[in-house]
């Protein structure tokens, strides 16, 4: 993919030559590529099966024992990297997981989602000597409360 500055220079040259149709096509193509890249970044993965299976198994056991309230927590995002210091740039990376299929599986087995809350937990921190730049890592956890009649 071409940088925006090079793309803009290319469009300017095409305009000077009077090639308006080509410029319009190039702009539409660049906009489409930019949209696809944005959609790819926004795509969220499902909660990993190795994390969901124990939750589903516990819910099934508790339902068989006649328990009417079930609480669980599942990882839905992980952050790593650092923030912007003086003259720095953002380097934070976020991985997201969608818990909707897990909730659907629990509701199919007789549990009803009563409440969901999200909590961010810091797992590590590394400050620079000058204090201008820090690396903070952590995760977001969905804490869910299910009930059955």
pLDDT in tens, 23-76: 677 777 777 777 766 665 556 788 888 889 999 999 999 999 999 999 999 998
Total count of domains within the chain: 2
Q: Indicate the pTM of the whole model.
A: 0.61
Instruction: Tell whether the model's pLDDT for residue 109 goes beyond 80.
Output: yes
70 and 92 share one domain? yes
27 and 64 share one domain? no
Taking CA atoms, 30 is separated from 2, 27, 53, 75, in Å, by 9, 5, 42, 36
101 and 29 share one domain? no
Q: What is the average per-residue pLDDT within 78-84?
A: 69
Q: Who wins on pLDDT, 142 or 48?
A: 142
18 and 85 share one domain? no
Q: What is the average per-residue pLDDT within 128-132?
A: 57
């Amino acid at each position: 993919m071409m940088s925006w500055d090079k793309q803009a220079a290319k469009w300017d040259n095409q305009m000077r030559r009077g090639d308006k149709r080509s410029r319009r096509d190039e702009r539409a193509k660049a906009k489409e590529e930019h949209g696809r890249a944005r959609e790819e970044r926004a795509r969220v993965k499902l909660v990993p099966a190795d994390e969901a299976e124990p939750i589903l198994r516990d819910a099934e056991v508790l339902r068989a024992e006649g328990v009417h309230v079930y609480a669980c927590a599942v990882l839905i995002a992980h952050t790593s990297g650092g923030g912007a210091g003086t003259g720095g740039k953002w380097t934070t990376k976020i991985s997201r997981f969608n818990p909707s299929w897990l909730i659907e599986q629990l509701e199919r087995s007789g549990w009803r989602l009563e409440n969901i809350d999200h909590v961010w937990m810091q797992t590590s921190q590394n400050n620079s000597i000058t204090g201008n730049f820090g690396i903070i890592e952590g995760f977001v956890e969905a804490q869910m409360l299910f009930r059955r009649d």
